[in-house]
Amino acid sequence: MALKILLVDDHKIVRDGLRNLLEKHPDIVVAGEAEDGREALQLARKLSPDVVIMDIAMPDLNGMEATRQILSELHNVKVIALSMHSDKRFVSEMLKAGASAYLLKDCAFEELITAIRTIMKGKTYLSPGIADVVIEDYIRKGSKEDSSVFSILSDREREVLQLMVEGKSTKEIAANLNVSAKTIETHRTNLMTKLDIHTIAELTKYAIREGLTSL
């Protein structure tokens, strides 16, 4: 039976290139494509893919949050992070979210195929150079307190923060997340208090630095 792949990237040219290359392999089929994390979650529920190839920096819902939500619901799905970012924070948080592999976008296509074959055997795959980043991060952290956005804010607060800095109004965010405007206002107040940041400009800088958005 062919492996079902879900491609998630906000650039159509990237998705088209990956589809063309992947479908040269007779045992691989691209079952669907998504341009952001929220669409990826919906398609993953519908298609139950074997592997999701996930970009990180995307609008509406980034790849880290999408990976967390997909894997919390669909335990048999494998996620491969395919990103231009080699920063240890991106790598660390994608692996914490449950990704089975992390590749850089400048890797050779053969490496992606190797990663797919590797993770389907229940193993982890990291691009050369990424392994060093992971080990260095692990050693440096030690007993050091984790002060990243992923430890400070709840899942929903991070979603609200991303949508806020991407210019969505309270009503738009509420509609997007299927909650009341009052609930969004509460999340907004709570996240600003936790971060001690009270302007959209500073929140935007923070969200970019933490990898929640690529604006």
Residue 104 has pLDDT above 60, yes or no: yes
Instruction: Say what percent of the chain tops pLDDT 90.
Output: 66
* pLDDT value, residue 143: 43
Residue 214 lies in a domain: no
- One domain for residues 117 and 27: yes
Among the ranges given (4-8, 89-93, 163-167), the one the predictor scored with the smallest mean pLDDT: 89-93
How confident is the model at residue 193, as a pLDDT? 93
Q: Tell me whether residue 179 is in a domain.
A: yes
215 is a domain residue: no
Both 124 and 204 in one domain: the answer is no
Give yes or no: residues 119 and 25 share one domain.
yes
The last residue of a domain, from among 141, 158, 177: 141
- Cα distance between residue 185 and residue 174, in whole Å: 9
pTM for this one? 0.79
Same domain flag for 12 and 111: yes
Which of 81, 109, 141 is the last residue in one of the domains?
141
Q: Is the pLDDT assigned to residue 135 strictly greater than 90? A: no
CATH number of the domain within which 178 lies? 1.10.10.10
The three-state (H, E, C) secondary structure of 44-105, written as one string: HHHHCCCEEEECCCCCCCCHHHHHHHHHHHCCCCEEEEEECCCCHHHHHHHHHHCCCEEEEC
- Report the domain count for the chain: 2
- The verdict on 126 and 186 lying in the same domain is no
Tell me the residue length of the chain.
215
Is the domain of 195 the same as that of 106? Answer: no
Structural domain for 171, as ranges: 149-209
| Final residue in a domain of this structure, among 118, 141, 164 | 141
pLDDT at 141: 57
The residue assigned the tokens 């660390």 is 92
CB-side exposure of 198: number of CA atoms within 13 Å?
2
